Amino acid sequence: MSGQTPPSNPTADPYQYLQIVNNFDGTITRHRKIPNTPATPDPDHPTPVLSKDIPLNQSNKTWVRIFLPKQVLHNPSSSKLPLIVYFHGGGFIIYSAASTVFHDFCSNIAIDVNAIIVSVDYRLAPEHRLPAAYDDAVETLHFIKTNQDEWLTKYADFSNTYIMGSSAGGNVAYHAALREADQIENLEPLIIKGLILHQPYFGGTQRTESELRLANDPVLPLPLFVNDLIWELSLPIGVDRDHEYCNPTVGGGSQRLEKIRLLGWRVLVIDCKGDSLIHRQIELVKMMEEKGVVVVSQFDEGGHHGVDLGDLSRAKALNVILKNFMLHS
């Protein structure tokens, strides 16, 4: 990792870039207008993928959105579908499971991969700093195993479950997997087959080569110190970016990866070389491989952070990768 100082713009305001205002009570006001899509549970709706919202923890105001390929309703004798527990991106501070960009992303996965998706609306920082999102992730897995919703009990194959996340959601997925690997027997009948990290959001106190080289990334522009602000708002107060929540390679990585190796979970890491975080992913893959974890990595040319969420052709290509990974897990 490089210790160079990245290019900077002293007049830039990361709060303005993110369209947030920092309040005196430790909360933020979010001014960014993010389109949302309502769930469509009605089987007569023309959409090929149905969706419904179910409360997770009413005290925490968390919930999940389940995506079901409608075709299974017309073919009840077919085999149950793989289950993907998904965590959305947004730097831990913005977006939700209802955000149109993630609703559409999950819908496309459900139809292309032929899987049931449970997308989690976890608590956001800084109102709920990490590890709150990890707590919600673990709670979701235990919620699914006991929930009696028909879409899950009738159509989901609990013995073929994957934990997946994009960007910050990839970070949540990673840490949820580490936690659950230690108490996997408590998840039955859920059986985790693999972990899918889609451009997972990690960091560290020192800049990587790609963070310096791609300092003007359209989504994570380091000159604006947006990346640093996101971590400042999300991490526990008083820790730096070499905390394990941010930097998974610190200290050689978590000892719980040994349990993931013993469980035989396969890990898919997906990114593109135009993402300023690409070297974080390369370091993550190397660390997991050194610990004996079976890792499949897919690092495409070009692109940028979040490119698969807005480019349908790339999203389709991603879903082919997901389907092949799941077939061999």
Give the CA diameter of the chain: 62
CA distances to 2, 114, 215, 299 from 117, in Å = 39, 10, 34, 24
The one catalytic residue among 88, 103, 198, 305: 305
305 among known catalytic residues: yes
Task: Please count the residues of the chain.
Answer: 329
275 among known catalytic residues: yes
What would the two tokens of residue 132 be? 């709150």
The one catalytic residue among 234, 275, 304, 329: 275
- Say if CB 298 and CB 269 are below 8 A apart: yes
Phi-psi region of 233 (alpha: psi -120 to 50; beta: other; left: phi over 0): alpha
C-alpha 48/C-alpha 123 separation (Å) is 29
Nearest to 110 by CA among 268, 295, 326: 326
The one catalytic residue among 167, 234, 254, 329: 167
- Say if CB 260 and CB 187 are below 8 A apart: no
25 among known catalytic residues: no
- Say if CB 55 and CB 97 are below 8 A apart: no
Fill in the DSSP letter of residue 110.
I
Active site residues: 167, 275, 305
